[in-house]
Amino acid sequence: MSRYEDAILFVVLAIAWGAGFSAIEVGLETIPPILFAAFRFDIGAAVTVVALAALGRLDRPTTRADLGAIVVAASLLVFANVFFLFFGQLYTSGSIASVVYSLNPVLTVGFAAVLLSGGGLGPRDAVGIVLGLLGVVLIARPSPTAVAEPPAGAPAVLDGAFALFGPDGLGALLVFCAVIAVAAGSVLLRRVDAPMASLPTTGWAMALGALMLHAASLGIGESVMLPSGTWTWVAVGYVGVVASSVGYGAYFTLMRRRGPFTANLVSYAVPAVASVTGWALLDEQLPPLAIAGFVCILAGFLVLNRTVVAEELRTLRA
């Protein structure tokens, strides 16, 4: 039964995070990026903590490992992840951002080889990593000519990078930084191996991450404001409840049950959901080079995990 439960969690996570890219696009039209990210986890943490407390399942951290897991998840999976993701989506579409995000399983294998096994990467593994990075380069496609003005709310410190890479290129590189944070955080969380259950860890990590995001928002001088307009509230509510409370709960549970490698495979389902919702709601389309980049990232994943994939195929044939 657990296999079916994990499959359901996988589907829920793909839909929650895939549609979340479009919701982020909507919210960024009126809310500064880091403040928007902070609102997301204000809601996500409140829903998760209150629900667990009502059910009598809100564990408190009692060991150093519990505290370590919360800090790792809050700083990397919450703060660093959405800090770069939301800034990245100022410059590029949610569809392209989701394709760059599909590099997650490739980098997760690389971090796991260094941080968990300690054996490092072999020559074929290095080829897989290079293929994945090539996919990001195809999406970013550096160009010396900017094709538009920087978007409203974009920090002036990135104007030089904008002029060099253009909007999609800079957006892809910022999202790539978010992917590094998620891949490293998921592996470090596995290494900490805290005894506290997944859902309470999720709630406390989102609460701490929200505080960090509010501090960062004030630190970089963003305007203090509340969401305004029906669709902005819908976007904030979606990323807070569905993408954060439900999505992160499913992600942490899958990671505890199956490990960071299997949990991060959702990154290959997310672009399909993000592309459909982006096309239906925002009239977005993936350019050919973004599709080619996704193929390279998938090829890198298959090279890195050739043994596991072969075993799974043998199991299915049997």
Q: How far from each other are the two terminal CA atoms of the chain, in whole angstroms?
A: 20
Q: Please, what is the average pLDDT of the chain?
A: 83
Q: How large a percentage of the chain has pLDDT more than 90?
A: 33
pTM: 0.82
Q: What is the pLDDT of residues 33-66, one digit of tens each?
A: 999 999 999 999 999 999 999 999 999 999 999 9
For 138-152, letters b (16+ CB in 10 Å) and e give: bbbbeeeebeeebbe
Residue 142 has pLDDT above 60, yes or no: no
CB 16 within 8 A of CB 250: yes
By CB atoms closer than 10 A (0-12, 13-18, 19+), residue 300 is buried
**pLDDT bracket for residue 145 (50, 70, 90):** very low
Mean pLDDT of 104-131: 72
Per domain, the residue ranges of the chain are: 2-317
Tell me how far apart the alpha carbons of residues 193 and 238 are, in angstroms, rounded to a whole number.
Answer: 30
CB 91 within 8 A of CB 175: no
Structure confidence at residue 1 (pLDDT): 45
**pLDDT bracket for residue 146 (50, 70, 90):** very low
